[in-house]
Amino acid sequence: MTSEMQSIPATGSAELQKLLILADEEIARQIINRQHLYWAKARVRLFERKELHMCRRSGCRNQVAGKNIFTLCESHLRGWERDWFQEQIEGNTNWMKSECSEESDPVVRQVNIIRRDRTLELVRQNVQLKERLLSEAYKLIEDHDSKGYERYVFLPNTFRLDLNQRWEMLIAATGVQFVDPYDEEEESQS
């Protein structure tokens, strides 16, 4: 009995402090995982309902600046994207032809062609990035569902429910909130 008592770290001991920090780290990890899942669901919902994308900057929940060629919201656009945004190249297909066809000087014309091709390449990268973010979001949701199913199958019911409930209490106690602007939008519309 004495040896069992000794194996429990004393209150205020360095060992106990270490365990408490590890426990807090685990709670933090759980919260971040949940946030990722939560926003993956929002990303998918936004796309499936409105064919719109959510900003790719981690932690940003805004919609991207346009419908087709942007991966970031207006406040996170990179320099050249800001130029595109101001020039309103999105939805305007003429910019691809006009610069090259109207120029008579062959050198300027060549420079314009190179510039246009560079823009097209950046646009192509953005489109690929959007598709990748969306498929990563789908994968995250799928992985979460299958892990949940695994726990349902392999863990005793009482233990699993008890554990879930304790996690809920711990997470709620941190004061973290999961607020989805797209859900609010849905409610106000209905």
Q: How far is the CB of 80 from Zn ion (least distance, A)?
A: 16
Looking at the Cβ atoms of 29 and 57, the one nearer to Zn ion is: 57
Cα angle: 141, vertex 26, 60; to 5 degrees: 50
63 has which bridge partners? Answer: 54
Helices (H), the chain: 2-7, 14-50, 79-87, 94-101, 106-154, 157-173, 181-189
| Closest approach of Zn ion to the CB of residue 3, in Å | 56
Residues that bind Zn ion (CB under 5 A): 55, 57, 60, 62, 73, 76
Would you say 46 or 73 has its CB closer to Zn ion?
A: 73
Beta carbon nearer to Zn ion, 69 or 73: 73
Report the distance separating Cα 188 and Cα 137, nearest Å. Answer: 26
Q: Which is nearer to Zn ion, 56 or 123 (CB)?
A: 56
Site of tokens 């929002």: 42
Q: What are phi and psi of 10, to 5 degrees?
A: -70, 150
Nearest approach, Cβ of 93 to Zn ion (angstroms)?
26
CB of 58 to Zn ion, least distance (A): 10
The 3-state DSSP class for residue 75 equals helix
Q: How near is the Cβ of 74 to Zn ion at its closest, in Å?
A: 8
60 conformational bin, left if phi > 0, alpha if psi -120 to 50, beta if neither: beta
State in angstroms the smallest separation of the CB of 54 from Zn ion. Answer: 8
9 burial via Cβ count (<10 Å: 0-12, 13-18, 19+): middle
Of residues 34 and 76, the one with the C-beta less far from Zn ion: 76
Q: Which is nearer to Zn ion, 40 or 73 (CB)?
A: 73
